[in-house]
Chains A and B, each alone.
Chain A
Amino acid sequence: MKKIVVLAKQVPDTTNVVGNAMKEDGTVNRAALPAIYNPEDLNALEMALTIKDKIGAEVVVITMGPPKAAEILKHSLYMGADRVLLITDRKFAAADTLATSYVLAETIKSIRDVDIVLAGRQAIDGDTAQVGPQVAEKIGCNQVTYVSNLKEFTEDYLIVERDGEVQTEVIKTTYPVLLTVTAEANTPRYPNCRRMLQYFRAGLKDNIREKELIEAEQNGWIIPVASMADLNLVENRCGLKGSPTRVHKIKSITLKGGDLKMYGAAATDIKQLVRDIMHDYVGVN
């Protein structure tokens, strides 16, 4: 039986900036964006569950983030994860990819004997695609990035397709290995009804009423939490202190006005537009 860790992140939904998420000055109100499960992390979880369904595996989903990020862990339980862990500590705040990968790698080491680490290729808030490889480097295992298809897997190896831009690479790798998964790899499953009934009361210990704690504990409804101290992490490598990069400046993007020439939608106007295009551009190809 394989042990699989899935790295997940809760992110603001940057792909659907509509309505009240735009401020009057044309910039994005980040606080108004809904928090969602990073899309490609769902593809990573789906891949883990596919392996579990066929050859048996223990699937552990971990996330580093504020307490609210427990929401995606609950969703992971609905989908079929066996275990989840919220890694949270005020000292993790403002971590860049180096500090984040340190915390995640140490957590994976503490889970022990992990065969496969799966992560989304990148998160939609930062789009860096750095955390996956940086975790692989720290735990010292092989990696395959941009995995677009899981072709075959056994107890001893797996075969994946990697999107190599100009070519598709079919790669066989033994364990342990870290894969970063793209949206093309699969379609994440819906939450399972039975599991939703089983876990709908799951949450962080702090949010569960005291008289219900025993029942929650017996039913596995308490989402486990680990702090910097719990994981024996070095403070200087966490959060802002462990981050070599600094955000010097943030500029919200606003629409820039240009010299816009409008054409009507009548046939004669369109004819004029076509003339203008032909005059200036066609023939340059």
Chain B
Amino acid sequence: MKTVIFIEKNPVSNQLRNVSLELTHKAYTLSNPLGGEVVGIFTGESIPENSDELFQFGMTRLVYFTDERLRHLHSVAYKHILEQMIRSEKPDIVLFGATHTGRDVAPLIASSLKTGMTADCTQLYIDEYKDKGKILYQIRPAFGGNILATIVTPDHRPMMATVREGVMLLPDTRLNHPVKTEAFPIDFNDAWIQGEFLEIVPKVKKVDFNSANIIVSGGAGVGSAENFRLIRELARALGGEVGASRAAVDFGFVEKDHQVGQTGSVVRPKLYIACGISGQIQHRAGMEESQKIIAINKDPDAPIFGIAHMGIVGDLNEIIPVMLRYLKEEN
């Protein structure tokens, strides 16, 4: 079972995106027991500075094509190049990060290869399927996170899937696979470059869930943008990050970057404090893997208590100020 991974870098930092490492490790656990290779494919202006790290997570080879014309995401060019690499490698499985780049290019390739693709998988495993031998089982939330669907691609190859960043975990141990990179020959066609990138404006990163051990999130129950200040203060007092439910974002209490859930970020902090969040499935899909969950909610029947480890029934606008006071004392 051979797997190809689309390798992606952060264009601002020139480093690998975490999802590329996560998928490499996942692919290694899928392919290695069956004696299959894990091959990375990359295209862009230059390979990521820390691409050697891929080999510590189980990559066998990294195949690349670099050209200065590929500095930006020219979808048509990326499609042609990556498709040629995939056709040449003939993998059983192709994985892309469900990033704004992966979700742009991967469907183009699946369409061109006329094969099946499953978006935003949360679990991947290999098992027997009817008389087809071993295939990839792809589990993904659908219907706003209200159902989990297991999707298979029984008769077409490669089997394609995307996975969001932060969903697959990285192991603590490193492998010492030898670094092996290969330039892939491409007969570059200028007609592939369509559209012109006039300007690139780096986004000021306001939210960093990846390195936050504690996340304090507010939902509709916070009541107003003004009250949301309490959520920020509690997060600051705990040295954590500010999260939000979709409802809080839709009501305009807080910017969308803070959204946790099916359509926001997937987070796994050590401690998640959900304030005024009822706990709809679409929110839980983004946070229920947190190690500890504290729920503060007026409604004792709120579904959030079903997954919380610690809870208070009450008005967060009264409870949080008291928490802040004691936090100060404890410090």
Binding site for B on A (CB under 8 A): 12, 14-15, 17, 27-28, 30, 96-98, 101, 124-134, 136-138, 142-146, 159, 163-174, 177, 184, 243-253, 255-265, 267, 269-271, 273-278, 280-282, 284-285
Known: A130-B107, A145-B100. A251 touches B155 (CB 8 A): no
CB distance from A138 to the nearest CB of B (A): 6
Extra inter-chain contacts (8) besides given A244-B153, A263-B311, A265-B318, CB under 8 Å? A127-B120, A134-B107, A163-B100, A166-B202, A247-B150, A248-B137, A257-B306, A262-B310
CB distance from B310 to the nearest CB of A (A): 5
Question: Could you tell me if B151 and A129 are in contact, using CB atoms closer than 8 angstroms?
Answer: no
Closest to A242 in B: B114
| Proximity bits, B297-328, A CB within 8 Å = 1, else 0 | 00000010111111111110011001100110
Known: A136-B108, A146-B100, A170-B197. A30 touches B143 (CB 8 A): yes
CB distance from B248 to the nearest CB of A (A): 13
CB distance from A96 to the nearest CB of B (A): 7
Known: A98-B116, A265-B312, A275-B330. A245 touches B318 (CB 8 A): no
Report how far A285 CA is from B151 CA in the complex, Å.
38
Question: Could you tell me if A281 and B199 are in contact, using CB atoms closer than 8 angstroms?
Answer: no
B195 interface residue, CB < 8 Å from A? yes
B200 interface residue, CB < 8 Å from A? yes
Report how far A138 CA is from B282 CA in the complex, Å.
32
Report how far A171 CA is from B72 CA in the complex, Å.
10
Known: A167-B11, A265-B314. A270 touches B322 (CB 8 A): yes
Contacts of B205 in A (CB 8 A): 166
Tally B residues with Cβ within 8 Å of A.
93
**B311 partner, pick from A125, A130, A262, beta carbons under 8 A:** A262
**B12 partner, pick from A167, A253, A271, beta carbons under 8 A:** A167
Known: A262-B311, A273-B312. A170 touches B149 (CB 8 A): no
B84 interface residue, CB < 8 Å from A? no
Contacts of B145 in A (CB 8 A): 14, 253
A-B contacts, 17 listed (Cβ < 8 Å)? A27-B147, A98-B114, A131-B107, A142-B195, A143-B75, A169-B197, A169-B199, A177-B195, A243-B116, A244-B116, A245-B117, A251-B148, A256-B307, A258-B309, A262-B311, A271-B322, A273-B312
Question: Could you tell me if B115 and A270 are in contact, using CB atoms closer than 8 angstroms?
Answer: no
- Kindly list the 7 A-B residue pairs having the minimum CB-CB distance in the complex, ordered from nearest: A14-B144, A244-B116, A265-B314, A255-B306, A285-B239, A245-B116, A142-B194
CB distance from A164 to the nearest CB of B (A): 6
Question: Could you tell me if B310 and A244 are in contact, using CB atoms closer than 8 angstroms?
Answer: no
